[in-house]
Structure 1
Amino acid sequence: MEDNNVLFKVKEQLAKDYNCKIEEFNNNNENLITELKIMEGRRKYSNDKEILKILIINGKAVISADNCIKDWCIENLSKIPGEWMFLYSVLRRIDKKLNEFGYEIENTHHYYLPNNTNNIDINDFKLKWYEKDDIFQFKGDDRFDEAFAFNNNYPDTLAVAAIDDNGNILGMAGASEDSDIMWQIGVNVLPVAKGKKIGSIIVQALKNEILRRGKIPFYGTIESHIISQKVALKAGFYPTFAEIKVRKLKNEK
């Protein structure tokens, strides 16, 4: 799957997620505010009602807002450049407004798309693959909390492990089916294997296999996780878009 085709298909998915048209990602750098709707084929990460989602792509913000907060977004967020939407001062204002409706910012992530497929150089370990049904054996295994989510909204669908000569797992990369076309990669490397480039190698292997199956791998991390960002770059990904996700406030005990 060529880079341009990958990006077009991702924009198709994001248009479903944010109730807009593909061309609106490219026409200018002015922010776009849309009505938050449940679109067929959208990515879904929570069973709670959504009231706000924010996407940053091509230097602009695409804000999908429920009617309860849409006017506030128009007044307060329309003129903030997408590049600066994740400033803490801006996030604090958004979070404070969300609190009025019983919500809060859950996280800010930026996401990477694949450049291409690459040959993999493996010396000190072997790869072992796990299909969807095989993955359930790792449910409850805290070693792989980033590789697997075990969530019905984005089911784990494929994984690859680095295995040493004694059959021990050194690291695991897993893919969740976030939509019909986009599979998200998460990775865990065990402490004994840190510093051996295992993370980038198994992420690269999983990326190549997902592309071979006609799907689009993508990789997400947070701004402060420099190690994770390096894994993405070494595995042949490049940064493409970012999102703010919100959740209902948890009841204080």
Structure 2
Amino acid sequence: MTYKEILAAAMRQSAIDCSCGEEDFRGVTHVFVENKASEQASKFLKSPNTCRLVSYGSNVVASCRKDLIPEVEALVNGQEKFHRCFEPMAIYELNKILQKAGARVAWMHSFYLPDPDAVFSAELTCPYEMREMHPEDFTDLYVPEWSNALSSPAKKHLDMLGYGAYDGDKLIGLAGCSDDCVEMWQIGIDVLPEYRRKGVASALTNRLARAIFEHGKIPLYAAAWSNVRSIRNGMKSGFRPAWAALESEIINTEN
């Protein structure tokens, strides 16, 4: 599978998540559509969503509640550069729009796709034994130490495969992947604090990425824009920046 084919697969999924066409992410003109529910949407996203902004680097696709489209369109088109939509000043204004719908910006991430040549040519090792792990091995691992590598207990059925690093019998690092959507499994990684900066994270992430390819799926990696350590790990492991996404959530007024 080539990187071009991998990117096309990611855009197909983003099109489902945003209720738009795959070609909408390749244009230079912004696209504004109503977000609709889909059973094929990524399993970790709310479907439908009040407002979702996605950019693959040339424009912004804004997928939101129909009555919010005019204001969101004015906000996006009003930015000097399209990437400003993902910066604080625009987010402040977007929150004002979302408040009318009882919602707010929930998170913003950068997503990374594997460069197959980089993934399979990387020679990443760590000083600890690495073992392949499966769902039955995760049973007692749904604890805070492994909350990035594994899904929440409520969604543990989505966890498909993992690689653990062991110091003797002690699990000191874990890379796990979840069944994010039809074509992609998303990777998460955790390393115990006292074992960091020893190459554990990158070795596990890279090995899991290879295994995901071997299972006929595309490995996906995501990080918050400010999580520099995670971004470095993804890049070292063979992943390259592909798209940025902003997601909203309904405000819980019961708390």
Do these two structures clear the TM 0.5 threshold for a shared fold by scoring above it?
Answer: yes
Structure 1 window deviating more from structure 2 (17-26 vs 144-153): it is 144-153
Indicate how the Cα distance of structure 1 residues 219 and 96 shifts in structure 2: closer, same or farther if over 3 A, else same.
same
Q: Distance in 2 between matches of 1:142 and 1:181?
A: 28
For residue 209 of structure 1, give the secondary structure of its aligned residue in structure 2: helix
1:63 aligns with 2:59: no
Q: Does the CA contact (< 8 Å) of 2:25 and 2:55 recur in 1?
A: no
Specify whether residues 97 and 226 from structure 1 end up closer, same or farther in structure 2 by C-alpha distance, changes over 3 A only: same
1:12–1:178 CA distance, 2 compared to 1 (3 A): same
1:219 aligns with 2:221: yes
User: Are the aligned partners of 1:44 and 1:153 in contact in 2 as well (CA < 8 Å)?
Assistant: no
Deviation at 1:173, TM superposition (A): 0.7
Cα offset for 1:24?
A: 2.1
Per residue, is there more helix in 1 or in 2?
Answer: 2
The C-alpha deviation readout for 1:36-89, integer Å capped at 9, x for no partner, is 112341113256752111101132111111112112112222343332211100
8 Å Cα contact 1:53-1:244 kept in structure 2: yes
Q: Secondary structure at the match of 1:128?
A: strand
TM-score when normalising by structure 2: 0.91
Runs (4+) off by over 4 Å: 46-49
Match of 1:10 in 2: 10
How has the CA–CA distance of structure 1 residues 161 and 183 changed in structure 2, closer, same or farther, with 3 Å as cutoff?
same
The structure 2 residue matched to 1:200, chosen from 181, 186, 202, is 202
Which deviates the most, 145-154 or 129-138?
Answer: 145-154
Question: What amino acid is the match of 2:52?
Answer: K
User: d(CA) in 1 for partners of 2:77 and 2:42?
Assistant: 24
| Preserved CA contact (<8 Å) 1:185 1:219 | yes
Q: Which residue of 1 aligns with 2:40?
A: 41
Which residue of the partner structure matches residue 137 of structure 2?
134
Contact between 1:33 and 1:78, CA under 8 Å: does it hold in 2?
no
Counterpart residue number, 1:122:
125
CA contact (8 A) 1:16 1:40 kept: no
Unmatched tracts of structure 1, length 5 or more: none
Name the stretch that deviates more: 12-21 or 120-129: 120-129
In 2, distance between residues paired with 1:155 and 1:120? 29
What is the total number of aligned residue pairs between the two structures? Answer: 250
Question: What TM-score do the two structures reach when normalised by structure 1?
Answer: 0.92
- Contact map agreement 2:112 2:234 (CA 8 A) in 1: yes
Give the 3-state SS of the residue equivalent to 1:138 in structure 2.
coil
The 8 Å contact of residues 131 and 158 in structure 1, kept in 2 or not, is answered as yes
1: CA distance, partners of 2:3 / 2:157: 24
1:154–1:178: 8 Å Cα contact kept in structure 2?
no
Distance across 2 between alignment mates of 1:142 and 1:74: 40
Q: Which residue of 2 aligns with 1:102?
A: 102
- Using the TM superposition, give the Cα deviation of residue 153 of structure 1 relative to its aligned residue in structure 2, in angstroms: 9.2
Contact 2:114 2:240 survives alignment (8 Å): yes
Using the alignment, how far apart are the partners of 2:77 and 2:150 within structure 1? 36
Task: State the alpha-carbon separation in 2 of the partners of residues 8 and 46 from structure 1.
Answer: 20
Please say if residues 48 and 247 of structure 1, whose CA atoms lie closer than 8 Å, have aligned partners that are also in contact: no
Identity of aligned residues (%): 23
In structure 2, distance between residues paired with 1:48 and 1:24: 19
Specify the alignment match of 1:53 in structure 2: 52
**Amino acid in the other structure paired with 2:64:** A
Contact 1:34 1:64 (C-alpha < 8 Å) held by counterparts: yes
Distance 1:153 1:202 in 2: 20
Q: Which residue of 2 aligns with 1:86?
A: 86
TM-aligned CA deviation for residue 182 of structure 1: 1.2
Residue identity in the other structure for 1:55: V
Which deviates more, 216-225 or 147-156?
A: 147-156
Aligned to 1:127, the other structure's residue is in SS state strand
Q: Identify unmatched segments of 5+ residues in structure 2.
A: none
Tell me how large the CA RMSD over aligned residues is: 1.9
Q: Choose which of 176, 181, 184 in structure 2 pairs with 1:182.
A: 184
- Once the two structures are superposed, residues 141-179 of structure 1 have per-residue CA deviations (whole angstroms, 9 ceiling, x without a partner) of 111011111343982111111112x21112111111110
In structure 1, distance between residues paired with 2:126 and 2:101: 54
> Deviations along 1:106-145, whole A, 9 cap, x unmatched?
1110010001132544352111122223322212x11101
